[in-house]
Amino acid sequence: MRKLFRSLCFALPVIGLMEPSSAWAQTKVLFEAMHAQTAGNADWVLDEDSCGTAQRFPTPAQSGITASTPETYWGGAFSSFGVDLVKKGFSVESLPTGSRITYGDASNAQDLTNYKVLILPEPNIRYTTAERSAIQAFVRNGGGLFLISDHWNSDRNNDGWDSPEILNELMTGVSWGLHFQENTEPDNWFNDNPNSKFTTDTSSPIVHAGAYGKATVGKGLGLFGSTSITINPTANPNAKGHVWMTTGTVGANTRVTFATSTDGTGRIAAIGDSSPAEDATNGCGHTTHNGWNETLYDNALIHLNAVAWLAGAGGGGGGSSDTTPPTAPSGLSASAASSSQVSLSWTASTDNVGVASYNIYRSTDNASFSAVASTSGTSHADSGLTASTTYYYRVTADDAAGNESANSNTSSATTPAASSPAKVILNEILANESGSVTAGEFIELVNVGGTSIDISGWKVWDSSAARHTFATGTVLGAGKAIVVFAAASSIPSGTTNAVGASSGQLNLSNSGEAVSVRNAAGTTIDSYTYSSTLSGTDGVSMNRSPDASATGSFVLHTSLSTAGSSPGKRANGTAF
C-alpha cells in the first residue's frame, strides 16, 4: 500500500542552508538506485532520463548548479536532496541498475572505495551476500552509510520483501545496534508530524549541533507513514537515538525515529521514513510527497546535518570529532606540458577517516605560495601560465572535517618559449560507449606544443584501417583539442572542435585495440594500444594522467574526475 500524502507541495528552495561549502569540495555521495528504487509509485532517485533507470551522473551536469538553482533542475523525487548537497560542495552520483556494489575492486569504476557517503533510499530488492559484505566493509573502513527505510508493508515491487526487512538483513553479521520495526512488531507504521521529541544531548550532530544548524522544537521531522527504530546499546554503545515518536520517551531504546551508530572508523545514520527526503518532482507515473520543501518541518536541515556528520563533521552521535589531519602528499612531480601548462602528479595521502580533496599551491619565487586549485584526484593540469617561466608547486590534503595536512615536497617546472614546436598526442579515447551506441565512440587529440599545426590529410587509425581523414584546412592550435566521434550525430551539444569520422565509424573494440594518428605522409605521430582494463566500463573513457601530458599514462577517466568522459574539454571539465 502507498502511504498517505499531504497536499502541501510548495515549490520553494530550502531556506537557511547555503553556507560555505569548501570543507566538502569533491566529497562524493553515492545514491544507490539499483534495488527497485523506482518500483511501483516509488521515485527515490536523483534523476532518470528513461523510466526506471537512474543514470550515474544526473543531467544537466551538476557543475551548472548555483545557489539559486531550483530542485526541478533534475527529474527525480530525490532531486532536492541532491541539488542541496551540490550547493553545499558535495559531488553526487547514482548507482544505476546493472551496476555492481563492491569494495576494493579496482575494475569497478563505482567501487565504494571511491565514495565517502553511501545513501540507501528505501531498497525494494534484497542485497546479495556479496553486496552486504561490501557495504559493511565500506562502513568499517571509514565510510558513512545513510539507511532510509519506510513503513512495514511498503513492498513496491511485490516480491515479498519491503525496506525494513531488507535493511535489517543488510545488518546481519554486524553489531550496529539498530533495528527497523517490521511485520507484527509495534510502531511499524505510523504518522507523526511534527515529530520533534529531541535528545537532550546538546552535542547531537543531527538536531542540536549540526553542521547546518539546530532543528526547532515544534518542527522537526514530518513523518507520513514511518516505521520506528529500536536501538541496542548493549550490542553497540555508540548506537544513539536523536529523535523519538511523540508517544515515545526521550532516551529510551524504542520508538526512535532517527538514530546513528558507528562501526570501526565508519558512521551510520538511520531514519524510518522516506517522505522527509523526497520532493514533488517525479515522472513516469510516480507519486511522491513534497517532504523536503515543506516549511512546516526541518526535514532538509536534519538530513543535510546527517550527511555532513557521515562525511566526517564533528559532533556526538557515535564517533568522536575528527581533529586528525591527513598525511602530507608525497612524490610531487611537475613537468611542463606546453608553454602555458604544467602537469602535476603526486602520491595519495592517508587519513584516519578519509581524504576529501587536495589543494594545489603555486609560486614564482619559491617563497610566497598561493592556492590555485583543488581536486579530488592525484594529478592536476595547471594552465593559463606564462611562457619561459619557472613555477614552483606544493600540495596539501584536506579531510572532510576541514583538517589540512602539512605541505608536500616542492617541485618546479619551467614552461618553454611560446615558439616551441607543435606536438600532437592521443589524449582521451572512449571505446566503451554509453548504452552500446557505437556512434558515441570518440578519440581526442591535443596539441601540447607551443605553436599551431596544420593537420590536413592526417588520419586516425584503428588496428586495421584508417577511420578518419582530417579535411583540408584543419588547423590544431597550441594547447587545443580536436575530437573525432564515430558519427557526427553523437557529438554532444556544446562540444567545440569536434567532427564525425569520415568513414562513418571508429570500430573501437571493448576488448582492446591499437589506435594511432598518422600525418599525411603516413608517419605515425602518436599511438596507443589499450586493453580491456581501460575499456571495460560502459560510458567511461581512458585519459592521459596527468591530463594533456605527452608523458602521461592512460587511466580510467573516473580516477581524474566524477565525469565518465570529457570530449573537447580538460578532464576537470574546463576548456582547452
Burial of 464 (0-12, 13-18, 19+ CB in 10 A): exposed
Percent of the chain with pLDDT over 70: 93
Q: Which domains does the chain have, with CATH numbers?
A: 22-310 (3.40.50.880), 330-414 (2.60.40.10), 424-559 (2.60.40.1260)
pLDDT of residue 400: 62
> Highest mean pLDDT range out of 64-68, 398-402, 423-427?
423-427
Asked whether 81 and 316 are in contact (CB, 8 A), the reply is no
Specify the pairing of strand 229-231 against strand 442-447. unpaired
Of the two residues 525 and 401, the one the predictor is more confident about is 525
DSSP H helical ranges for 72-146: 79-87, 129-140
Mean pLDDT check: name the lowest of 13-27, 110-124, 427-441: 13-27
Confidence of residue 26 (pLDDT cuts 50, 70, 90): low
In this model, does residue 6 exceed pLDDT 60? no
Q: Is 469 helix (H, G, I), strand (E, B) or coil?
A: strand
Best CA proximity match to 26, nearest among 483, 430, 398, 286: 398
pLDDT, greater one: 356 or 206 = 206
- The radius of gyration of the chain's CA atoms, rounded to the nearest angstrom, is 25
Decide: residue 307, CB within 10 A, 0-12 exposed, 13-18 middle, 19+ buried.
Answer: buried
What's the grid cell of residue 570? 580538460
Residue 2's pLDDT is 29
pLDDT class of 10 with cuts at 50, 70, 90:
very low
Residues 377-386, mean pLDDT to the nearest whole number: 90
The grid coordinates listed for 3 are 502511504
Q: Are 189 and 150 in contact (CB under 8 A)?
A: no
Q: What is the mean pLDDT of the chain?
A: 88
Question: Scanning the structure block, which residue is given the C-alpha cell 526547532?
Answer: 216
Q: Is the pLDDT of residue 134 over 50?
A: yes
- What pLDDT, on a 0 to 100 scale, did the predictor assign at position 568? 94
CA distances (Å), 96 to each of 32, 58, 167, 345, in order?
7, 11, 19, 31
Residues of the chain above pLDDT 90, percent: 66
Whether residue 387 is predicted with pLDDT greater than 80 in this model: the reply is yes
380 with 371: CB under 8 angstroms?
A: no
Q: Which grid cell sits at 14?
A: 530550502
Quick check: 13 pLDDT over 60? no
- Does the structure show a pLDDT above 50 at 156? yes
1 or 460, which is more confident? 460
CA distance 323 to 430: 41
Backbone angles phi, psi at 398, to 5 degrees: -115, 145
Give the model's pLDDT for residue 513: 94
What size, in residues, is the chain?
576
Name the residue among 339, 397, 389 with its Cα closest to residue 364: 389
Q: What is the dihedral of CA 536, 541, 545, 550, to 10 degrees?
A: 110
Distances (CA, A) of 111 to 155, 192, 561: 28, 37, 14
pLDDT of residue 313: 77
> What's the pLDDT tens digit per position in 96-108?
999 999 998 889 9
450 or 475, which is more confident? 475
pLDDT at site 198: 95
pLDDT at position 451, please? 87
Per-residue pLDDT at 72 exceeds 60: yes
In this structure, of 130-144, 211-225, 281-295, 360-374, the range with the lowest mean pLDDT score is 281-295
- pLDDT score for 23: 56
Phi, psi of 49 (to 5 degrees): -80, -25
Residue 11's pLDDT is 32
pLDDT at 409 over 90: yes
Higher pLDDT, 321 or 347: 347
Q: How far apart are CA 433 and CA 361, in angstroms?
A: 36
Q: At residue 508, does pLDDT exceed 80? A: yes
3-state secondary structure of 118: strand
Q: Is the pLDDT at 447 greater than 90, yes or no? A: yes
pLDDT, average across residues 123-143: 93
Q: Please, which pLDDT band fits residue 330 given cuts at 50, 70 and 90?
A: very high
Tell me what pLDDT residue 382 has.
92
Global pTM?
Answer: 0.56
What is the residue-wise DSSP string for 505-523? -----TTEEEEEEE-TTS-
Q: pLDDT at residue 470 above 60?
A: yes
**Do strands 28-32 and 117-121 pair parallel, antiparallel, or not at all (unpaired)?**
parallel
What's the CA gap between 88 and 305, in Å, rounded? 11
Q: What does the alpha-carbon distance between residue 525 and residue 282 come to, in Å, rounded to a whole number?
A: 50
Q: Check residue 317 and give its pLDDT.
A: 59
pLDDT of 78 above 50: yes
Residues 6 or more apart whose Cβ sits within 8 Å of residue 512:
529, 530, 531, 532, 535
Q: Categorize the per-residue pLDDT at 347 as very low, low, confident or very high, splitting at 50, 70 and 90.
A: very high
Range of weakest confidence among 145-154, 198-207, 411-420, 447-456: 411-420
Q: Write the pLDDT tens digit of every residue in 259-305.
A: 999 998 899 999 999 999 998 777 776 777 787 988 999 999 999 99
CA-to-CA distance for 528 and 513, rounded, in angstroms? 8
Strand partners for 267: 144, 262
* Average pLDDT rounded to a whole number, residues 504-510: 94
Q: Which of 317, 81, 299 is nearest to 208 (CA)?
A: 317
Pairing of strands 498-500, 481-485: parallel
Closest CA to 359 of 392, 407, 411, 395: 395
